[in-house]
């Protein structure tokens, strides 16, 4: 049965109303009802709502759990909320990444930190760090993928960080692809593993991976997967590193001279890699223990003409989100996500459940949420580069606090509804 549509009420209406049998009270109730109706219609007509524009306070979710059945958590609107968001302060997060700390590197407009996602027919649960740590007691939560998944992992660490005393947490990076954040009191590990193409590739070094030619061993995943085998929750992504017409696919090993290289259409090579990933999951995942997630495409905002701005621009100087309902730019590839969905459907037929966390559409609107020029640069910028900020603006990754925190709120909702105790 579908969940009832949740109507957002002003505090004066949502509280207990003392109904007095008087003419003035009846008139007051009628006026209040008309105001609520107007507010509701305004909120439902688009995907962008500001509290001050509406003239009332929107009531957010306060429950620690929600039911995802009968409610599409991914269909909703962004609501401006500068009272309860951001969920943490960037300066207070012990493990914030300089590539994502936009305010630290000079960004002054901070409205991007104050938006929450409101599904149409239900509420997202309020993120409760202590509750999640308790759920993760003696367990491993591992994010596997590229730098966007790493950004989501940093977001998760920051969301949990404030609930853990300094002497009861640590970060460990032994120089390999695996980075571990541990909450010692809970014996809980929240980890990130660098595998941008999921399968083995020539881009597997966590630092030296910026190679012009991508080579994948589309049928080899064991090198990476042995690091995930005993994880309790796995969160995968792979998308942007495949964005080229063709990929070099290697049959053989990188250390062998008799390997066979062949250029393969990107979608076909992506399909081969997903099959390898799925086959590994089917054979190796403990179905009574491990919960599996796949993050959908994170959109880029590198072409301002796609949202009606002059050609040649990008997310640089953008301070407002896109207001066109259903907007979809060209920074995503629906064919790739349909391939992921088909792979997940096939796994379900084989008795293994992978939940797709659909962040794509809700993130499409957030062109102002990227670091742009406000981040630590990998290498010092030249005078020529500094003179052309459009050329080095990062319109791929996301500022923190920001959009990835909402991705983790969605993940949190599914963990609390589907994780086995």
Q: Which domains, and CATH codes, for the chain?
A: 87-109+120-418 (3.40.50.1110)
| HSE, side-chain direction, 13 A CA sphere, residue 28 | 11
pTM: predicted TM-score of the whole model, two decimal places = 0.84
**Is 296 designated active site?**
no
What's the pLDDT tens digit per position in 310-367? 999 999 999 999 999 999 999 999 999 999 999 999 999 999 999 999 999 999 999 9
What's the pLDDT tens digit per position in 78-91? 999 999 999 999 99
Catalytic residue among 81, 232, 394, 405: 394
Catalytic residue among 81, 203, 397, 405: 397
The tokens describing 170, both together, are 């640590």
Token pair 């409205």: residue? 111
**Is 147 designated active site?**
yes
**Is 123 designated active site?**
no
pLDDT of residue 241: 96
209 CB neighbour count, 10 Å cutoff:
17
What is the spatial distance between Cα 133 and Cα 128, in angstroms, rounded to a whole number?
Answer: 9
DSSP state of 217: E
Catalytic residue among 90, 146, 147, 298: 147
């Amino acid at each position: 049965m579908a969940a009832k549509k949740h109507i957002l009420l002003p505090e004066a209406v949502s509280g207990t109303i003392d109904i007095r049998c008087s003419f003035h009270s009846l008139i007051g109730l009628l006026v209040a009802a008309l105001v609520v109706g107007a507010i509701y219609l305004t909120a439902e007509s688009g995907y962008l709502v500001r509290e001050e524009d509406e003239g009332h306070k929107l009531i957010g979710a306060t429950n620690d759990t929600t039911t995802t059945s009968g409610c599409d958590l991914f269909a909703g609107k962004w609501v401006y909320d500068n009272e309860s968001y951001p969920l943490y302060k960037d300066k207070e997060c012990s493990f914030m990444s300089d590539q994502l700390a936009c305010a630290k590197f000079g960004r002054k407009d901070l409205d991007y930190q104050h938006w929450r996602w409101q599904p149409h027919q239900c509420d997202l649960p309020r993120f409760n760090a202590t509750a999640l740590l308790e759920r993760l007691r003696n367990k491993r939560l591992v994010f596997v993928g590229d730098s966007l998944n790493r950004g989501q992992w940093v977001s998760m660490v920051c969301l949990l960080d404030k609930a853990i005393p300094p002497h009861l947490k640590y970060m460990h990076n032994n120089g390999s692809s695996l980075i571990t954040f541990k909450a010692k009191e809970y014996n809980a590990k929240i980890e990130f593993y660098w595998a941008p193409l999921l399968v083995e590739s020539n881009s597997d070094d966590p630092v030296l991976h910026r190679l012009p030619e991508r080579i994948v061993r589309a049928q080899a995943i064991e090198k990476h997967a042995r690091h995930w085998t005993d994880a309790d929750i796995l969160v995968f992504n792979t998308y942007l590193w495949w964005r080229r017409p063709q990929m070099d696919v290697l049959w053989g090993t990188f250390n062998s001279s008799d390997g066979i290289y062949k250029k393969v259409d990107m979608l076909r090579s992506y399909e081969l890699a997903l099959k390898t990933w799925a086959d590994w999951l089917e054979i190796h995942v403990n179905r009574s223990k491990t919960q599996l997630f796949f993050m959908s495409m994170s959109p880029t905002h590198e072409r301002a003409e796609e949202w009606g701005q002059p050609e040649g621009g990008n997310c640089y100087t953008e301070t407002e989100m896109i207001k066109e309902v259903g907007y979809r730019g060209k920074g995503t590839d629906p064919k790739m996500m349909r391939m992921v969905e088909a792979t997940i459907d096939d796994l379900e037929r084989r008795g293994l459940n992978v939940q797709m966390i659909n962040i794509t559409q809700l993130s499409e609107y957030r062109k102002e949420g990227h670091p742009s020029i406000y981040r630590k640069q990998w290498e010092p910028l030249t005078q020529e580069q500094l003179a052309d900020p459009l050329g080095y603006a990062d319109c791929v990754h996301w500022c923190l606090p920001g959009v990835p925190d909402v991705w983790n709120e969605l993940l949190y909702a599914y963990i609390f509804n589907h994780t086995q105790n």
